[in-house]
């Protein structure tokens, strides 16, 4: 039984009146607890695929089934809720909100769900300590280094204990050593918390270290 399955998804972009087909009937099943890497050439549509998987982008056609429920047929509020509860995102850039402290940024998904403030902050603090930033909770994103910010972003993605973690080149902006630290964290998250993770990457060696490897070529996803 797959946790997340995507069926026959089409997505095209239109540039100067010309159609560029990015996803051409992609179908894929991901089982619970899997750690999956996705590689492909630049512009092949890796990010688009990840966005469709995370309901950030809407395809032209296709179906997304999570745990037996069809996601695309939900209304806006339900989809936003699905994104909030089920999926954690980590992007190439950290995308932390600059007006808020590291602690508030991590707690943000819980606050969106209108959970109790003190409880959320307590858990967020614990998570920040877990990623090694216990001393930086009151700092704003502008006062953090790239690696630290990315670790805060990872903590934010995990604060609601999502079932799925989608990472879009999480180490793309970092030096190899810091990047390896982030990957180490991702593997631990997958192993210790049982969170299903899909990691898009350019780095072949990193990709090879993942149990399941996928490749996106010509609008189709194949096992690599």
Burial class (CB in 10 A: 0-12, 13-18, 19+), 212: middle
Q: How far is the CB of 199 from other proteins (least distance, A)?
A: 17
Which of 75, 118, 135, 205 touches other proteins (CB under 8 A)? 75
- Exposed/middle/buried for residue 208 (C-beta within 10 Å: 0-12, 13-18, 19+): exposed
Tokens of 76: 């806006």
The answer to whether 136 touches 102, Cβ cutoff 8 Å, is yes
Beta carbons within 8 Å of 6's beta carbon, 6+ residues apart: 26, 27, 28, 29, 52, 53, 62, 63, 64, 65
Rounded distance between C-alpha atoms, residue 186 and residue 170, angstroms: 10
Does residue 87 contact residue 164 with C-beta atoms inside 8 Å? yes
Cβ closest to other proteins, residue 143 vs residue 175? 143
By the rule CB under 8 A, 58 interacts with other proteins:
yes
The reply on whether position 179 binds other proteins by CB under 8 A is no
Question: Strands, E, within the chain: which ranges?
Answer: 2-15, 18-31, 35-39, 61-66, 69-70, 87-90, 164-168, 196-200, 212-217, 220-223
Question: Does 51 participate in binding other proteins (rule CB under 8 A)?
Answer: yes
Given the rule CB under 8 A, which of 34-42, 104-112, 176-184, 204-212 is the region that contacts other proteins? 104-112
97 forms part of the interface with other proteins (CB under 8 A):
yes
Among 61, 122, 126, 218, which residue interacts with other proteins (rule: CB under 8 A)? 61
Q: Does 224 bind other proteins (CB under 8 A)?
A: no
Q: Which is nearer to other proteins, 172 or 181 (CB)?
A: 172
Binding residue (CB under 8 A) for other proteins from 5, 24, 33, 178: 24
Q: Which residue stretch of 52-60, 121-129, 179-187, 209-217 sits at the interface with other proteins (rule: CB under 8 A)?
A: 52-60
Q: Which residues bind other proteins (CB under 8 A)?
A: 8, 10, 12, 14, 17, 19, 21, 24-25, 51, 54, 56-63, 70, 72-73, 75-78, 80-85, 89, 91, 93, 95-100, 108-109, 111-114, 156
């Amino acid at each position: 039984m797959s946790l997340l399955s995507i069926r026959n998804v089409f997505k095209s972009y239109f540039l100067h009146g010309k159609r560029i087909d990015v996803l051409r009937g992609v179908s894929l099943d991901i089982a619970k607890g899997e750690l999956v890497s996705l590689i492909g050439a630049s512009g092949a549509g890796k990010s688009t695929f990840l966005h469709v998987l995370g309901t950030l982008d809407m395809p032209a056609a296709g179906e997304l089934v999570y745990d037996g429920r069809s996601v695309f047929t939900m209304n806006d509020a339900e989809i936003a809720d699905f994104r909030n509860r089920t999926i954690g995102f980590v992007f190439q850039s950290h995308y932390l909100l600059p007006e808020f402290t590291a602690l508030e940024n991590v707690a943000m998904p819980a606050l969106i769900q209108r959970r109790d403030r003190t409880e959320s902050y307590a858990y967020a603090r614990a998570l920040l300590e877990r990623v090694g930033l216990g001393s930086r909770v009151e700092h704003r994103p502008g006062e953090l280094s790239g690696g630290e910010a990315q670790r805060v972003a990872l903590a934010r993605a995990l604060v609601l204990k999502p079932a799925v973690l989608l990472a879009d080149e999480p180490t793309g902006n970092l030096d190899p050593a810091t990047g390896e630290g982030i990957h180490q964290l991702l593997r631990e998250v997958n192993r210790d918390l049982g969170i299903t993770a899909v990691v898009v990457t350019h780095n072949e060696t990193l990709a090879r270290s993942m149990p399941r490897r996928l490749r996106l070529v010509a609008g189709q996803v194949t096992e690599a």
